Amino acid sequence: DGGITQSPKYLFRKEGQNVTLSCEQNLNHDAMYWYRQDPGQGLRLIYYSQIVNDFQKGDIAEGYSVSREKKESFPLTVTSAQKNPTAFYLCASTEPLQGGNYGYTFGSGTRLTVV
Amino acid sequence: GENVEQHPSTLSVQEGDSAVIKCTYSDSASNYFPWYKQELGKRPQLIIDIRSNVGEKKDQRIAVTLNKTAKHFSLHITETQPEDSAVYFCAARDHYNQGGKLIFGQGTELSVKP
């Protein structure tokens, strides 16, 4: 998975239920990101973290929560407050320091469906 | 904050023709502009990128041009092949602020007809 592993690949959520999407990387990257992808809307930023124990809201953070207790892990929780969670979720990481290639490496994604 | 607009949303070309996708950005502080290719159901893959101190970059059949004054950049694919069919995303990053995050365009669905 190119150094980033997302699980599960498919996830089904019932109404009123919280679910957690896993993202693990072994690239030793400091920065990690969560994006949501809907048809025709590109990738929208949910949350990002530049360093362990720190994270910031992106453009569409409402109804989501994250934690960054370890450098390798950046789980995303979709809470019951997110009214339209059906989407494809992508996790990414990068090394945001100067020099080198600091494009994102993406995970393979989790497709979340409300049932 | 940064805003990236991408056009067209869909593009259909004949095999062997060229394809051009254009993006504009709003934040003059942005200094890194990658392009990603996403095949159906798969993760986006970086195909080429350009930094603000360069006007053009080529990699085989793919090239990217950047006009900082006009705040727009373009992806050029020459001699298109059916395997080039995918969704392409441009992005912009303000390296010095905003946590290095990328802001993506809306995507262009490229279809190359044999």
pLDDT digits (tens, 9 = 90+) for B37-83: 999 888 999 999 998 888 999 999 999 999 999 999 999 999 999 99
* CA–CA separation, B75 and B65 (whole Å): 7
B32–A96 C-beta distance less than 8 A: no
pLDDT at B31: 86
The mean-pLDDT minimum among A24-33, A60-69, A102-111, B96-105 falls in B96-105
Nearest one of B47, B59, B114 to B83, comparing CA atoms: B114
Helices (H), A1-115: none
What's the whole-number mean pLDDT along residues A84-89?
94
pLDDT tens across B95-112, in order?
A: 665 567 888 999 999 999
What's the whole-number mean pLDDT along residues A63-70?
97
* CA–CA separation, A85 and A112 (whole Å): 7
pLDDT at A1: 47
pLDDT tens across A20-57, in order?
A: 999 999 998 889 999 999 987 789 999 999 889 999 99
B107–A40 C-beta distance less than 8 A: yes
Q: Where do we find the tokens 């994270």?
A: A55
pLDDT band at B29 (very low <50, low <70, confident <90, very high): confident
* CA–CA separation, B24 and B76 (whole Å): 15
Which of B6, B99, B105 minimises the CB distance to A56?
B99
pLDDT at A101: 52
Residue A74 near residue A58, CB atoms below 8 Å: no
Compute the nearest-CA separation of A76 from chain B (Å): 17
Q: Strand, helix or coil at B99?
A: helix
Which of B101, B103, B108, B109 should we substitute to test contact with A (largest number of A Cβ atoms within 10 Å)?
B101
The mean-pLDDT minimum among A2-16, A62-76, A85-99, B21-35 falls in A85-99
